[in-house]
Structure 1
């Protein structure tokens, strides 16, 4: 069970519950004028909580991760690490198979949901910035709101390229101008460089799940890591500099040792459980099922009788790990413990081979299953209470190694890669790491955490054929602007190819 909610998390929960109730009247802040209210620490946290409430995942494609049909599925199932096949029993929509086969359309639900979520979040962030600036609130609070807004614009730029851009809400949808990816990149970088130094350097406590200085530098490093994709100009040294600024927060790898009381038998899997350990976690998404957010990923993967036998709730028999991805893991790798094949409790036998994703679809028990997010209580058939790691230190160690190799300093990268491998129970590299070594290690370490599509694009593998499709066209590196957005705003130009 999670400890007592901190102030901001409690506010997020309150706002989340209110957002699900149609007949709740607007709050009236009694004796306070708005500016006076938002200038107080409590009022500033209310403004920020309204923005953070957009991060947590829920039905209808809302949130960063946790539920389905949103950003997480769009960015994971277009890569090589997971997919939900249509079953030959008639189960599961075809949208997920289309993502994996790179056949998505501008009218698709998940493409539209992700777009709508991000613009809802940006509207909320713009409002918070306005409220806090008008109230002359503490600079650390204003900067936190601006960093959150930069985070959402980063996700938009990464997925859609040239996007509508606005920082004030006094404009109608049909008037929104479309900014180039370069312009959005420049804005996001400038906002982060100006505001991250103003953030709190507190770790944990009330800053669990919030952007502090270290999470801000982590975000800046992510953007610099992919600058070559966004602008055509790589920024490997700037990425290194941002990572080194983040490292001043004092992060380390969480132990990976065998432990019967830990999920999946290893301390490593505590990184994906209830409240995430602070040694490695830089930024987490908070979840408590049926209160705020949820984490569906194991329950969605396991079949009904198998999940019932393990957890007392029925699984959805959905997401699987493609056979080639699963086969890449060494049998000695403790990270392979997250995958289930063969005979299981509940009279279920999973087979790795999947013959079809859509026509006629996969057999009911075809596909490797994943229990990386071993369900934390409270849980039910709608999800569990695992928090989600948005940023964790192992990711940034491998990012640092990648930058060093790209800057021709592979010897300095070797200890970083070796530390990740050795925690997983594997031998150190026999030679200095190559980019291929780092790419493979990122897949092994970070699968199902929302990074793979971005990595595949950066390493040039995203368009390569697989067992279910041929070579993809170049334009598939971006998602289309949804049809509904194009219809609502005549200023928008569709991405090429769509």
Structure 2
């Protein structure tokens, strides 16, 4: 059951603030601090609205999440010969040919800055409340939520405006900040928020879930520091290591018996999940649509769904061949001949033809057969409650496995404690019934992260950090790029419409 205070507040709240999605808009927060936010419950009713918008950044159908996977070797969305799914804008991104007029890019920008704008409006009202002294932790919560938005904007576009007011004045439009400046802002905001947020060790985890804790922010900071050289020009693996140790030292988290246990409908007390976004479509609070977007239509029969999945997202042999035989994580992937849950009865169409998922072969990317492309069953429909095509599996933002892998990478890059780094990676491998490694390289870590975190929004940043985003080729990317000369492709272009609306913005190099 998901009858937690934050969900109840979200179901009851109206989003009484406005937020800027275009930087030339003049928008005004509608909250009056003298008549509102008299107590924590009133304040929470608007804070959860920001959580909801952060959830949009992680939803299967949202370009806030898809752009963390587009352009990588593990996530494709080709057009189907039977009709549908081909999108030139998506194709541009997946082939590393994104343009500044790309419509999907406009959607991603609006999604992210809507969350940031909402956080700005709520934060202003919280800080102006006559009871602000009693809302210190909640103010920190909203600062962290805003930092999550800027973290994504920094990763995608790098050079964006740092804007913290609740409204944009048409006569004083914000100017572009450098990626290094945005990086420092994100670090400072997360650090300040962590100081005032409660630790997972001091709250009732049942009652407090899924709100941010110190450990949520430490995990996000570890990821920011892990990519510090990309974002700021200066590596900071020591700080990444410190943040990972902050999480590990609580002894509050542990690996589940299987990766799949992290993505079930009932994961509120999950020992591995550090940060999550709650949904409860039965109460009108969001919904998880990964099944709708990714799975083949015949999964309707396999799982007894009330709708036919749309057979969209997929991957191919590039990712599948990273897994060794017997790896339990293969149970989350759908490839080859398909069966019902008993593992024996063939999953067949009305003509009795068994579904056999094969790798991508159609070269134009515009008309693949319905059985081309493998599937990731990230969020299990088993035990989930559906409202239409919306499942009630909470979105997992970060989990303990990622902390262990980040610590292993930081140690390896620092040339420190190779024994501990190897042990951390082997914890992940042994959990999935893989043979323990006897030595560890950065390439091993890159591949282990790809196996463990497939479709969790980490791959694009990982590939850029390891250089494989440029030097490798796969189905959608057939050309080797130069990590130096083509480094500009590691940033997306600022949408033209945003520059038209706000001439103070500066386009990224290469576009």
TM-score of the two chains, using structure 1 as the length reference: 0.89
Q: Is the 8 A contact 2:78 2:366 kept in 1?
A: no
Report the counterpart of residue 43 of structure 2 in structure 1. 44
Structure 1, unmatched stretches of 5+, are 20-27, 57-62, 257-266
User: Whole-Å Cα distance in 2 between the matches of residues 381 and 280 of structure 1?
Assistant: 29
1:221-248 Cα offsets, whole Å, 9 max, x none, are: 1111111100110111111111111223
Q: Is the 8 A contact 2:13 2:46 kept in 1?
A: no
Report the counterpart of residue 9 of structure 1 in structure 2. 7
User: Whole-Å Cα distance in 2 between the matches of residues 350 and 106 of structure 1?
Assistant: 39
1:308-327 matches, cutoff 5 A: 308-312=301-305, 313-327=307-321
- Where in structure 1 do 4 or more consecutive aligned residues deviate above 4 Å? 16-19, 357-360
User: Whole-Å Cα distance in 2 between the matches of residues 162 and 440 of structure 1?
Assistant: 29
Residue 143 of structure 1: which of 127, 140, 144 is its match? 140
Displacement after TM superposition at 1:69 (Å): 4.0
1:290-439 matches, cutoff 5 A: 291-312=284-305, 313-344=307-338, 345-347=347-349, 348-356=354-362, 358-375=364-381, 376-379=383-386, 382-409=389-416, 410-431=418-439, 433-439=440-446
Residue 461 of structure 1: which of 461, 465, 468 is its match? 468
1:173-227 Cα offsets, whole Å, 9 max, x none, are: 6712111111111112112222212101226234312211111111111111111
User: Whole-Å Cα distance in 1 between the matches of residues 249 and 438 of structure 2?
Assistant: 30
Displacement after TM superposition at 1:125 (Å): 0.8
Residue 275 of structure 1: which of 266, 277, 288 is its match? 266
Displacement after TM superposition at 1:118 (Å): 1.3
User: Whole-Å Cα distance in 2 between the matches of residues 237 and 87 of structure 1?
Assistant: 47
Q: Is the 8 A contact 2:326 2:433 kept in 1?
A: yes
Report the counterpart of residue 60 of structure 1 in structure 2. none
Relative to structure 1, the CA distance from residue 357 to residue 89 in structure 2 (aligned partners, 3 Å threshold; closer, same or farther) is farther
Report the counterpart of residue 441 of structure 1 in structure 2. 448
Q: Is the 8 A contact 1:402 1:438 kept in 2?
A: yes
Q: Tell me whether 337-346 or 184-193 shows the greater mean CA deviation.
A: 337-346
Report the counterpart of residue 479 of structure 2 in structure 1. 470
The reply on whether 1:108 has 2:140 as its aligned counterpart is no
User: Whole-Å Cα distance in 1 between the matches of residues 128 and 14 of structure 2?
Assistant: 25
Relative to structure 1, the CA distance from residue 15 to residue 475 in structure 2 (aligned partners, 3 Å threshold; closer, same or farther) is farther
1:146-165 matches, cutoff 5 A: 146-165=143-162
- Backbone CA RMSD of aligned residues: 2.4
Structure 2, unmatched stretches of 5+, are 18-29, 339-346
Q: Tell me whether 414-423 or 357-366 shows the greater mean CA deviation.
A: 357-366
1:262-318 Cα offsets, whole Å, 9 max, x none, are: xxxxx4312011132431110011123362222222332222233234223211111
Q: Is the 8 A contact 1:164 1:178 kept in 2?
A: yes
User: Whole-Å Cα distance in 1 between the matches of residues 262 and 16 of structure 2?
Assistant: 30
Q: Is the 8 A contact 1:38 1:47 kept in 2?
A: no
Relative to structure 1, the CA distance from residue 157 to residue 143 in structure 2 (aligned partners, 3 Å threshold; closer, same or farther) is same
Displacement after TM superposition at 1:362 (Å): 1.1
Displacement after TM superposition at 1:322 (Å): 1.8
Count how many residue pairs are aligned between Structure 1 and Structure 2. 470
User: Whole-Å Cα distance in 1 between the matches of residues 150 and 251 of structure 2?
Assistant: 28
Relative to structure 1, the CA distance from residue 145 to residue 163 in structure 2 (aligned partners, 3 Å threshold; closer, same or farther) is same
User: Whole-Å Cα distance in 2 between the matches of residues 142 and 311 of structure 1?
Assistant: 44
Displacement after TM superposition at 1:98 (Å): 3.0
Displacement after TM superposition at 1:85 (Å): 1.0
